[in-house]
Amino acid sequence: MICPVCEKESSFQSLRCSNCGQDLTIYKRAVSASNMYYNVGLQKARVRDLSGAVNALKNSLRFNKKNMQARNLLGVVYYEMGEVVEALSEWVLSKNFQSENNPADHYIDAIQKNASTLETINQTIKKYNSALLYAKQGSEDLAIMQLEKVISLNPRFIRSYQLLALLYMKAGDNKRAAKCLSRANKIDRNNTLTLKYMGELPGTFVSSNEKPKNEHPRTLPEQDVSSKAFAQGSYKEEKFNFWPYLNLLIGAILGIAVVYFLIVPTAKKSIASQYEDQFKSYSDQMSSQNAKSTQLTTENENLTTQVSDLSSELEKLKADGFDEDSMSDFYEAIRYYMDGDKEKAADMLANVKETAIENAKAKAIYKTIKDDTFGDAAETTAEEGRITYNNGKYEEAIETLLKAISMDPDNVKAIYFLGRSYHRLGDNDKAREYYEKIINDYPDSDRVADATRRLAELAD
């Protein structure tokens, strides 16, 4: 046990520190209570009661914030729940308390060294926040679309399953809601919000107060040999006697003296050093931001110059009979792209024919905007077309899906639902054309089986 005053090793059995003489009675109780809650959290984590494990481990850290095993395990539990940011926060705190021989180093390095993992985490957070905003605005279809992407990126993100289930319940699709809640329950068996939503689906789940027939009662798995390295001594309540209170009074008096003579001067020095480090860090950040701002300003000036040149070229091209409406859409696409609105930039650029652009600079800008926007915009537009098709608006769906294909001719989702829309409208020749295109041109697509089945329906 480490003495909280002199930070020297001291026997857990002794009542006072062998180095400085500090009374350790109360500190020992706090450490014992922290270890007890750590053991409770460890047991709950083993049976995938992750919410219960989080509560127990937080209690452990309230008694002893330097309990590294509890903090590292809390980070692992958060990671299992899909809360990667919370997990990283706990591991960074753990590393700050113990910089050497800390398993948190391995956890942090495993994430930071993989650039794709960091990008996935970033995309997950952005898409979940977008879904939450769509849900608040009443756009349930868009929210569901975003949440499906979140789950594909992070299959353990419990909050995304819960919100998706809630949206499905609102839409009346209890079967899909039950499937989402079942997945969330497999990750965290006793999450109160998941269980609450399950209770709102009568007949779908077995009540928590009822036990299925022929089911044996659950028992906690026995602790294996390797777990002895993590287990801590459990806390036992002592019998009431007079001496603890006397020790408490003496310890309080000694504690006040230690704080006044030892801790306060050290704390002042530490705070001054902290402020100095923060000032240096802030100065470095400002320098970096100024450099980035200068770079962005230069890029913006270059792009503005290109736009100005294109405006001059527009006047020349008008005299040669160039399509003014097409150039107007191209100019609007550039403006939206400069403003950071890639979706509108893609919409405007879809109206521009690349073959109509003869100027080399204009073609270079066209290709840059197209490569950066058409892929995501085509997927979003194809999904909108699918939703419109599901709502029975087949003619509107065809218009939207054709727009998606104009951005990305290889978007299989758009091709398939174009076929379905023409099929629903009775235009069997068009439907057959798109079904055969999927079968012949995209044999590895997961839509081949559906296209083959629909093609067989047309033959009947």
**So what's the pLDDT on residue 394?**
92
Quick one: how far is CA 232 from the chain centroid? 33
Residue 255 lies in a domain: no
pTM assigned to the model: 0.40
Residue 105 lies in a domain: yes
Residue 7 lies in a domain: no
**So what's the pLDDT on residue 357?**
72
Query: Of 113, 129, 158, which residue constitutes the final position of a domain?
Result: 113
Do 97 and 147 share a domain, yes or no? Answer: no
Do 49 and 64 share a domain, yes or no? Answer: yes
**What HEC string does the chain produce?**
CECCCCCCECCCCCCECCCCCCECHHHHHHHHHHHHHHHHHHHHHHCCCHHHHHHHHHHHHHHCCCCHHHHHHHHHHHHHCCCHHHHHHHHHHHHHHCCCCCCHHHHHHHHHCCHHHHHHHHHHHHHHHHHHHHHHHCCHHHHHHHHHHHHHHCCCCHHHHHHHHHHHHHCCCHHHHHHHHHHHHHHCCCCHHHHHHHHCCCCCCCCCCCCCCCCCCCCCCCCCHHHHHCCCCCCCCCCCCCHHHHHHHHHHHHHHHHHHHHHHHHHHHHHHHHHHHHHHHHHHHHHHHHHHHHHHHHHHHHHHHHHHHHHHHHHHHHHCCCCHHHHHHHHHHHHHHHCCCHHHHHHHHCCCCHHHCCCHHHHHHHHHHHHHHHHHHHHHHHHHHHHHHHCCCHHHHHHHHHHHHHHCCCCHHHHHHHHHHHHHHCCHHHHHHHHHHHHHHCCCCCCHHHHHHHHHHHHC
Do 53 and 125 share a domain, yes or no? Answer: no
**Mean pLDDT, 10 residues at a time, the chain of 460 residues:** 60 59 69 85 86 87 84 87 83 83 82 76 84 86 87 85 87 86 86 85 51 38 37 46 68 72 67 70 69 69 65 57 60 73 75 72 75 80 90 91 87 91 91 90 89 85
Quick one: how far is CA 81 from the chain centroid? 10
Residue 228 lies in a domain: no
Query: Of 175, 199, 223, which residue constitutes the final position of a domain?
Result: 199
Angle (CA) 338 342 343, round 5°: 140
d(CA 133, CA 142): 10
Do 108 and 124 share a domain, yes or no? Answer: no
**So what's the pLDDT on residue 416?**
92
Query: Of 90, 113, 136, which residue constitutes the final position of a domain?
Result: 113
Do 378 and 441 share a domain, yes or no? Answer: yes
Do 360 and 450 share a domain, yes or no? Answer: yes
Kindly give, in sequence order, each residue whose CB lies less than 8 Å from that of residue 340, ignoring residues fewer than 6 positions away: none
What CATH number did the domain enclosing 52 receive? Answer: 1.25.40.10
d(CA 327, CA 334): 11
Looking at the structure of the chain, the number of domains it has is 3
Do 186 and 96 share a domain, yes or no? Answer: no
Do 105 and 43 share a domain, yes or no? Answer: yes
Do 133 and 190 share a domain, yes or no? Answer: yes
Do 32 and 146 share a domain, yes or no? Answer: no
Whole-number Cα distances in Å, 435 to 130, 407, 429, 440, 448: 34, 20, 10, 9, 8
Quote the domain boundaries for residue 138: 117-199
**So what's the pLDDT on residue 275?**
64
Residue 442 lies in a domain: yes
The residue type found at 166 is L
Do 339 and 426 share a domain, yes or no? Answer: yes
Residue 11 lies in a domain: no
Do 121 and 87 share a domain, yes or no? Answer: no
Residue 244 lies in a domain: no
d(CA 202, CA 156): 25
Residue 97 lies in a domain: yes
